[in-house]
Each structure stands twice: as structure tokens, then as C-alpha cells.
Homo-oligomer: A and B are copies of this chain.
């Protein structure tokens, strides 16, 4: 069985349409490449209790949980306090983080900036090489900043710890519409119940109408399933296999 994951995107700016969330797309893609099965993404507002409740629920539901956003110095940055609340611990100043912030800001350190030294009690700091905004791990919850460049940098620094057996993927581009091939796909699933089978209609593409994806953690099982599908489809309907 793959490890499962849930992703919590924290930010009013996403819900109000001001910002397009690209962090969940990044995490979904990267985790898939690592062989991790993302089962849920949720976008929630910057609200302490809600963040805590959601983090605790996700932590109990999936092997790995990732949060992004709400870790800066301003009034709407309440992720750390929320997650502390959710796990029934205090939010405390981490001495190492406090020292790093003091070095960075010198005399310009202020209460707002010091909030960035807060962690849920018992949390671990990861990627401590980073000058600021390290990843905070609270049990199986990995807390990331919301700025995409920082998130991506920090994730790449620690991602090997999440690596599982990878998924093997084949894309089949088909000239017939979904309505024509749906029966063939259903039959394939009955013969190969363990594959993950996707069917995605495309509008306005000159060369094909549907992209079919077939996935498995076993390369051999995937090969058999794809061969079987290609046999059942009319040869003229197959544009290409990748």
C-alpha cells in the first residue's frame, strides 16, 4: 500500500479568488512522482480553530499531511497557533529560530517578527540550513510557508524522506470520443481491477479527443493492461501511446 497524503491550503486570498493556488498542484505532482497517494486537498480560511480542527482530522486520516500558508508575522498568520490548538499543545518560542531571527533583523526585531519563531510545543524543525521559514513538523503534519518559491525550495530539500515505490504511467491519446470508448474502458477495468484508469476529454485538439491514463505500481501489470487495451481499441482510433 502507498503512503497517503492530505494537503491543507490556508488562505483567504485563495478563497476570495485574489490568488491562484499553485502550491497544491506542485505538491500533488511531486508527491505522485515520489509514489505518494494524495487523497484530499482542502482550502480553508485563516481561522485558528478551523486550522486546528482540520489539521487534527487530516493527521488522523492520512499518513502525511502538508499545510501551506499562514506562517508570517501578520494578523492573518495563525497556522502555528491553530495547529498547536488542534493537537492540544501550546505554541512556544523556539530558541534556535528566535536566535536566527535576531541575527537577521538585529535591532529591528519586534513582536510581529518574533511570532515567526513560534512552533507547536514538541515540533521538529526540518531543513534547518534554510535562513528562515524552515519546515515545521508536528507529528505527521509538515507546515510550509505559502510563498510558492519558498515552499518549493523547502520541499525539494526534504522530499527524499517521502519517497515510496513510484507509480508507472502510460498515456494513450485516442481519436474517438469518450462515449465511443467508455464500454472498452469498463471492460478493461474488469480484467485489470488493480490499475488506476483515467479518461479525460479534450476540446478543440486537432489530433485526439480523449487522453486515457493507465497507472500501476507494477510495471509488468501495467504493460499487460495497456497491451490488452490496445488490442480492444480499433487501431485507427489510437493516435499514440506515451
**Contacts from A to B (Cβ < 8 Å):** 9, 12-22, 24-25, 28-33, 38-45, 72-76, 105, 108, 110-113, 115-116, 147, 149-150, 167, 178-183, 185-186, 189, 196-201, 203-204, 213, 215
Contacts and interface: CB of A to CB of B under 8 A. Distances in A.
Contacts of A196: 12, 16
A105 B179 contact: yes
A89 B48 CA distance: 37
21 contacts: A13-B198, A14-B28, A14-B41, A15-B40, A17-B25, A17-B32, A17-B33, A18-B32, A21-B24, A21-B25, A24-B43, A41-B43, A42-B42, A72-B201, A74-B182, A74-B186, A75-B182, A75-B186, A75-B199, A76-B199, A112-B182
Number of copies: 2
B38 A75 contact: no
Contacts of A115: 182
Q: Which of A9, A20, A44, A45 has the most chain B CB within a 10 Å cutoff?
A: A20
A55 B101 CA distance: 45
A193 to B, nearest CB: 11
A146 to B, nearest CB: 9
Contacts of A179: 73, 105, 108, 110, 112-113, 116
A17 B28 contact: yes
A213 B41 contact: no
A43 B25 CA distance: 11
Q: Which of A25, A73, A108, A147 has the most chain B CB within a 10 Å cutoff?
A: A73
Contacts of A72: 178, 199, 201
Given A9-B41, A18-B200, A110-B180, 6 more contacts: A15-B28, A15-B40, A18-B213, A39-B45, A112-B182, A149-B203
Contacts of A150: 203
B44 A40 contact: yes
A111 B213 CA distance: 22
Nearest to A189: B75
A25 B169 CA distance: 27
